[in-house]
Amino acid sequence: LVMAIKSREMETFKAAFRSDLDALLLEDVHFLQGKERIQEELLSTLKTLSGRGCRIVLSSSFLPKELTGLDSQLLSRLGAGFLAVIDRPDVETRMRILETKAFRKFGATLPRNVACLLADRLRADVAVIKQGSRNAQDAISMLQTMEGAMASIDAVLIRMKELAEQASTGSYSEQQRNIMNNEFQQMIAEIDRIAETTQFNSINMLNSATGSQTIHFGIGSYINIKSVDVRSVALGVDSASVSIAGTDGTAAQAALELISTAIERKDSARASFGYMMNRLESTDEVLNIQAENLMSAESRISDVDVATEMAALTRNQVLAQAGISMLAQANTMPQMALNLLKG
């Protein structure tokens, strides 16, 4: 249908497709969402086939209520008929499917232990990879928390530098510098508070107490994240080392140099977490691709062939309906004979 529309050969397609078709099995109807022209031609074809008594089976990976951008007439056809939800088979069923496929395609008998391995191993691998992806995402969240804390420390250091610059000028008195120093010392205490109290799941990566954290993505696959130390003493701006008080701006000028060094140390620590976040994000993307590929492989190996199963379902329905009709006719035959004898 799609190729006929693209090549502008719809009339030829309609004539061939609608003339002698007894059954239509149409999979993955959800792919038609938003394709109005294709839906229009499909509805016209379905109407013609229905008028000829053709059996029509539509399938989708979504329930009708979950579909958007699909014509209401198609939705009604999906929802009004027989809805068959085909669940993912269990391990035993997947093993039987594998054995059947091996015999049909290759004429070979698949040993039970091999079928069990194929049916169960891929799913286990997918579970491990997905957990590795969650581990990477948790580690990214942890680093984002720590990086946010260092952004706050950055703001504190900038304020300290402003105060030191202000106190270094000769236009302020000793008393005024002492007042500035009070705020300056409070800023130092704030740096220590942030570094000591910032945690993610009770893990602190900013005071060097944790050491390093190992993030696992599977057997033999891991990344070590080293903690950093951004306390005031590690940055070189603790209360014992720096002050902006005094009769002149000498101490404040010395503080400016120490604060500049502290900012560089903080930037280095912050950058190390940034690099690690980028690495974890790339790892997470790779893991997601691996999981999708494995799930696709598992689906090809062990999932039910929807078209085949729906065809079998339709055939069995027709046979069942025919059987019911024959039984109904058989039950009326004695009554008809009795009526003839009475008549």
Q: What is the pLDDT of residues 233-247, one digit of tens each?
A: 999 999 998 999 998
C-beta separation of 37 from 5 below 8 A: yes
Structure confidence at residue 306 (pLDDT): 46
- Look at 32-36, 85-89, 255-259 and tell me which has the smallest mean pLDDT: 85-89
In this predicted model, what pLDDT tens digit does every residue of 20-55 receive, in sequence order?
677 777 777 777 777 787 788 788 888 887 777 777
Structure tokens at 337: 């004979």
Contact 13, 21 (CB under 8 A): no
Query: Quick one: the chain helix, strand, coil %, rounded to 5?
Result: 70, 5, 25
pLDDT band of residue 327 (cuts 50, 70, 90) is low
Which range of 101-105, 227-231, 313-317 scores highest in mean pLDDT? It is 227-231
Dihedral angle of Cα 129, 133, 139, 142, to the nearest 10 degrees: -140
Q: At residue 174, does pLDDT exceed 60? A: yes
Of 255, 231, 244, the closest CA to residue 153 belongs to: 231
Q: For 110, which DSSP code?
A: P
CATH code given to domain 125-300: 1.20.1330.10
> Is the model's pLDDT at 219 over the cut of 70?
no
For the chain, domain boundaries: 2-80, 125-300
**pLDDT at residue 269, rounded to an integer:** 93
| Mean pLDDT, rounded, for 135-150 | 92
Residues 6+ apart with CB under 8 A from 222: 214, 215, 216
CATH superfamily name and code, 2-80? P-loop containing nucleotide triphosphate hydrolases (3.40.50.300)
- Per-chain mean pLDDT for the chain: 79
